[in-house]
Amino acid sequence: MTAELAKAYDPASVQDEVAKVWDDEKCFHAEPTDPGEPYSIVIPPPNVTAALHLGHALNNTLQDILIRRARMQGKNTVWLPGTDHAGIATQTVVEKRVLKEEGKRRTEFERDDFVKKIQAWKDEYEQVILGQLKAMGCSCDWDRTAFTMDEPRAKAVREAFFQLFKAGLIYRGKRLVNWDPATLTALADDEVENEEVDGFFYYLKYPVVSSTGISPVNHGRDGHATEYITVATTRHETMLGDTAVAINPKDPRAAALKGKFVRLPIVNRIIPIIEDDYVVLPVSLGGDPADTKAQMATGFLKVTPAHDPNDYDIGQRHNLDIINVMAPDASISDKHGWSDIGDAGFLLGQSREEARKLVVKWFKDNALLEDQKPYRHSVGHSYRSHVAIEPYLSDQWYCKVTDKRLAGAALDAMNPSQISRGTGFQPVAEGEQGLKTHATNTGITFYPERYAKTYQTWHENIRDWCISRQLWWGHRIPVWSSSATRIDFVNLPANATVASMESDGMQYICLRENDTDCIANLERAGFSQDPDVLDTWFSSGLWPLSTLGWPLAAEAASPADSASGLATSVAGDASSDPPPNALSTWNPTSVLCTAREIITLWVSRMVMFNQFFQGQIPFKDVFIHAMIQDGDGRKMSKSLGNGVDPLDIISSHGTDAMRFTLTSMATNTQDVRMPVVRDETTGKNTSPKFDLGRNFANKMWNAARFALMQIESNQSQVANSESQFTTLDRWIMSRFNKTVTECDEAISNYRFDQYARACYDFFWRDFCDWYVEIAKVQFKDETKKSTTAQVIATVLDGSLRLMHPMIPFVTEKLWWKLNEVCPDRGIDGWINRGTNSRVRAQVDGDGNSTRIITAQWPIPGQTDDSAEAIVSNLQELIAQIRTARNDYKVSPKQSVTVTIVAPDCGAEQINLHRDMLESLATCKIAGVETAITTPPVNSTKITAGACEIYIEGLVDEAAEQLRNTKRRDELTKAIAAKKGRLANAGYIAKAPPHLVKETQDQLAAEEAELKALSV
RNA sequence: GGGCGAUUAACUCAGCGGCUAGAGUAUCUCCUUUACACGGAGAGAGUCGGGGGUUCGAAUCCCUCAUCGCCCACCA
């Protein structure tokens, strides 16, 4: 039956066959009521904007490793898949497509019609993405597939918004937002990217007047008497909205200017000169010479509250008017809060860029431009449209994340051992707000630890979160408003489903449920729903809750206390509790596995929301993996054309190959590089790195093929006694057990590269290179062949299990074959009989699974240091003979005759392993002695550790010279280094004694060898 | 401006106080030996970015400089 196995591993056919079985048998599905300690992961939902790239392949491979291992460990394991609607990103790609294909802009469509187009795009890419995840072998519970905008998630969003609204954590604000004038929407702080831009500092002169606006006063720059003061700015077009000029109270000119005004050029607005210590003093007046701002500053700052966040703050402090001089597209406009346009009529309707030029020209023409200096500074740009952000005054919804119950709770959620103290950290007190009541709330641990700092700093400096977006694609804000209607005129249902607030003379009604009657009532009364949608991260922030069924039916129906963040129930702690549900079983999830770029965008919000709504952390660990870059350290991107499509690699190398390579690259650095080359035959991007995985999968396939053939023909007799195992058998089992321990530690610490390496080294080096070759010898021995088959089957079985999480397809297929060849399995079956203290899988339930995906994960058995020491010596002997054969150019097939001199007890072991030595070193052992007086004639002596080997017939004088010279040089160098070390009194006195002894012993051996070589 | 990462063989990376600094790829030699040429046996290849310090001992810890990259803050 092993003849069925092809000579080379064919990934495509195996993947299809195996995937079908997993799917048919619903191997990925779990229920909350299933036995076992819960283990859960929510997938970072990929954006439906595009197909998955290699970064996703890495991310999801690592999650799948964790999931598959947990499942094999008998945990109640679930991996929740899904996708994200990615509001602005998706709307933008669809707008581009529609413009290209239909030549129409979004605004030419009705809202519902355009949303349908986006929906169609989403449907298309959701299928692509889910198909890719399946192709990657991801063992997600597909029955639980979610989308951030499907109905269960929409329900969670409404509930969350309602609870926050009711708790006073959502407010309406006329604030400066990061406005994207191209897509006409507000952006969150972290959606803004900074770019260096070459610009100019302009020095504008403003005439000083008394309060009446008539008489000039003489105070100006650097104290020189003039009727002007000079402000310095890079955003001169916003001067139209200036409502004050500020000076530092420490400025010597401040006293004289107290109570004075300036007449704003062009608009002729009379604005006050105010004092605020935000203003930087120029170097000439005591400012910091190293501060570029102080170098450029005049000491007078134009204050434009509507167009600069800092000016806005100054405006708040001094009760200044806020005059917005721009339309939403960033053109100059008098329709959005600006009436006293003065002489600025010529600027109306101009773009901000054009206005900038015109304003400079005006100042120049009117001799009010004192100077201009080149200046390079960074300017915020939209991460989507890439146009410069405009700080823009608009009405937005805010979530008060600065509240203790949110940011405070997020800090409180940290693993105490990872908190950096003394940075202003103020955790919510134990018990306060009812947080930290859950038994599992021991704190979130970051891997690698350094990212805890990123997280902490973010929350310590957090600002309120603007959650409204002027988009069509997203969760519509569940608030209805009216300016005139009095709320008591409206016939509203019970208080539990409605919350209201008043702001700026407007009535706002928030609805908990999508209650059509209620909405009809409201709309009849003149209320209308807010046109905006919520920031994408609002729904993603709920992901660990919403994918697991939050809000629960009962909770949502009652006027829960949870609105104030009080979570009093502890899952499953009382007999009267309802049966376990997905939420109570799997939240908190076990680990969040993601990239560092979204620690602030996503991780933070999930923690705040989970803490607030559920009173517990959303995940116990956060694992941040490296980012894959191309060979030149650049990000992989479509525009650079340096991306690699996972599906291309799957078809060229196989899924397991891709997964193995990615796993071995998952070190704990920030970035890893993957050289990208273009495959000339397919025209597609690939990377030579994937050959590593392809070769490994093939090696595994072939080693198993050999093992299966041997097992089939050698399993007639069964060993029941430990004593029947050879040293070599015990050696490979010991190596296996150490490998299991290494893998366990590696995975537990999220060091996936170490897991891959441990598997590779064990399987290829120890098992294939050594044990399989040894087994070939043992199979020829009637007394050993049965136990050898048993050991090879046991170790193969264990190896397949150990590697299954990483390379699931090939291991599953081979395990089935192993089952066919020796069906008498299980802990008491043929494989484990006699070996079960040495190679073990977790006992409970093992033997019943017919699929490796649900078979038991290995646990380390007995190790055997004495066998390892013996084999290590034998390996050294073989290596030396092989090297000598190569050095003397002996043909690989030609045997040589050797005499081995092994002092002490080494001779006994060599005699015991004669067959194996002769086979692996292609030699004939003429004799094994403990000492020798006359070396065999015509022989060359080589050394291997404590042994000497005389190889007959090697008489190449030149080769011998070369060899001896090389060895002598090595020894001389090593001896000199050790003598130096031992001559150091400090070393003898302070180094651990065993090291000193080791050095002395090694020195003695090396000196002896050198002496022997010289005679 | 603040923080973080990287700099080790030609390439991609391990190692992070004590083995002659390792692996894979590439290179060179030999081998189509009945698991595997997606293979086997060998070989060559590194003053561990520069400088300073701590230590008996540094690729590994500290300081400093340089180069590349990322994150946060600032956009007078």
Of A16-20, A333-337, A578-582, the range with the lowest mean pLDDT is: A578-582
Which residues 950-979 in chain A have a CB closer than 7 A to strand B?
A: 966, 970, 974, 977-978
pTM of the model: 0.86
pLDDT at A214: 53
A221 pLDDT higher than 60: no
- How does residue A540 score in pLDDT terms, banded at 50, 70 and 90? very high
A218 touches strand B (CB under 7 A): no
**Are A173 and A196 spatial neighbours (Cβ–Cβ below 8 Å)?**
no
A422 touches strand B (CB under 7 A): no
A215 pLDDT higher than 60: no
What mean pLDDT is reported for chain A?
84
A133 against A891, higher pLDDT: A133
Of A286-290, A308-312, A630-634, A947-951, the range with the lowest mean pLDDT is: A286-290
Give distance CA A128 / C1' B4 (Å).
Answer: 35
A755 against A255, higher pLDDT: A755
Smallest CA-to-CA distance from A611 within A427, A436, A836, A776 is with A436
- How does residue A839 score in pLDDT terms, banded at 50, 70 and 90? low
Helix axes A727-748, A54-72, angle to 10 degrees: 120
pLDDT at A148: 94
Query: Hey, is A96 helix, strand or coil?
Result: helix
Give distance CA A210 / C1' B76 (Å).
Answer: 25
Which alpha helices (H) appear in A393-466, and where do they start and end? 409-412, 451-460
User: How large is the average pLDDT for residues A21-32?
Assistant: 93
A907 pLDDT higher than 50: yes
A22 pLDDT higher than 90: yes
| Burial of A368 (C-beta count, 10 Å sphere; 0-12/13-18/19+) | middle
The whole-angstrom separation of Cα A484 and Cα A875 is 91
A452 against A289, higher pLDDT: A452
The whole-angstrom separation of Cα A925 and Cα A916 is 11
- How does residue A568 score in pLDDT terms, banded at 50, 70 and 90? very low
Closest nt by CA–C1' to A998: B19
A896 touches strand B (CB under 7 A): no
User: How large is the average pLDDT for residues A974-989?
Assistant: 87
User: How large is the average pLDDT for residues A192-214?
Assistant: 77
- Residue A661 burial (CB count, 10 A): 25
A894 touches strand B (CB under 7 A): no
A954 against A182, higher pLDDT: A182
A383 touches strand B (CB under 7 A): no
pLDDT at A720: 60
A79 touches strand B (CB under 7 A): no
A592 pLDDT higher than 90: yes
Give distance CA A958 / C1' B32 (Å).
Answer: 30
Give distance CA A44 / C1' B17 (Å).
Answer: 39
pLDDT at A283: 78
pLDDT digits (tens, 9 = 90+) for A57-97: 999 999 999 999 999 998 999 999 999 998 888 888 888 88
The CA–CA distances, whole Å, from A882 to A204, A774, A874, A918, A927 equal 85, 16, 12, 11, 18
Of A3-7, A270-274, A603-607, the range with the lowest mean pLDDT is: A3-7
The whole-angstrom separation of Cα A1009 and Cα A555 is 80
A838 pLDDT higher than 50: yes
pLDDT at A249: 86
A834 pLDDT higher than 90: no
Of A195-199, A248-252, A951-955, A987-991, the range with the lowest mean pLDDT is: A195-199
A32 touches strand B (CB under 7 A): no
Which residues 828-887 in chain A have a CB closer than 7 A to strand B?
A: 878-879, 882-883, 885-887
pLDDT at A718: 61
What are the residues whose beta carbons fall under 8 Å from the beta carbon of A32, sequence distance 6 or more? A76, A579, A580, A581, A582, A584, A585, A586
The CA–CA distances, whole Å, from A23 to A60, A61, A80, A499, A960 equal 18, 18, 16, 46, 63
A395 touches strand B (CB under 7 A): no
A250 touches strand B (CB under 7 A): no
pLDDT at A561: 42
Which residues 479-498 in chain A have a CB closer than 7 A to strand B?
A: none
pLDDT digits (tens, 9 = 90+) for A451-488: 888 888 888 888 888 888 888 889 999 999 888 656 55
Amino acid (one-letter) located at A227: E
Closest nt by CA–C1' to A1006: B20
A489 pLDDT higher than 60: no
Closest nt by CA–C1' to A989: B56
A226 pLDDT higher than 60: no
pLDDT digits (tens, 9 = 90+) for A551-564: 987 654 444 444 34
Q: Smallest Cα–C1' distance to nucleotide B11: which residue has it?
A: A675
pLDDT digits (tens, 9 = 90+) for A370-403: 888 887 777 888 776 778 888 888 888 989 888 8
pLDDT at A599: 82
pLDDT digits (tens, 9 = 90+) for A148-172: 999 999 999 999 999 999 999 999 8
Give distance CA A836 / C1' B27 (Å).
Answer: 46
pLDDT digits (tens, 9 = 90+) for A860-896: 888 899 999 999 989 999 999 998 888 888 888 888 8
Amino acid (one-letter) located at A367: A
pLDDT at A423: 47
What are the residues whose beta carbons fall under 8 Å from the beta carbon of A764, sequence distance 6 or more? A696, A699
Closest nt by CA–C1' to A1002: B19
pLDDT at A223: 41
Share of chain A above pLDDT 70, in %: 88
Closest nt by CA–C1' to A887: B42
A176 touches strand B (CB under 7 A): no
A826 pLDDT higher than 60: no
- Name the pairing type of β-strands A671-674 and A677-678: unpaired
A301 touches strand B (CB under 7 A): yes
**Are A91 and A118 spatial neighbours (Cβ–Cβ below 8 Å)?**
yes
Give distance CA A465 / C1' B6 (Å).
Answer: 34
Q: Smallest Cα–C1' distance to nucleotide B70: which residue has it?
A: A670
Q: Smallest Cα–C1' distance to nucleotide B35: which residue has it?
A: A706
Of A73-77, A544-548, A576-580, A716-720, the range with the lowest mean pLDDT is: A716-720
Closest nt by CA–C1' to A9: B38
pLDDT at A570: 42
Amino acid (one-letter) located at A834: G
pLDDT digits (tens, 9 = 90+) for A492-531: 666 678 888 887 788 888 998 888 888 888 888 888 999 9
Give distance CA A636 / C1' B7 (Å).
Answer: 21
pLDDT digits (tens, 9 = 90+) for A692-749: 999 999 999 999 999 999 988 887 666 566 678 899 999 999 999 999 999 999 999 9
A427 pLDDT higher than 50: no
Smallest CA-to-CA distance from A539 within A127, A147, A253 is with A147
A690 pLDDT higher than 70: yes
User: How large is the average pLDDT for residues A103-109?
Assistant: 85
- Name the pairing type of β-strands A300-303 and A244-247: antiparallel
pLDDT digits (tens, 9 = 90+) for A741-784: 999 999 999 999 999 999 999 999 999 999 999 999 999 888 88
Q: Which residues of A975-1004 are buried (b: 16+ CB within 10 A; e: fewer)?
A: beebeebeeeeeeeeeeeeeebeebeeebe
Model ipTM over 0.90 = yes
Which residues 556-575 in chain A have a CB closer than 7 A to strand B?
A: none
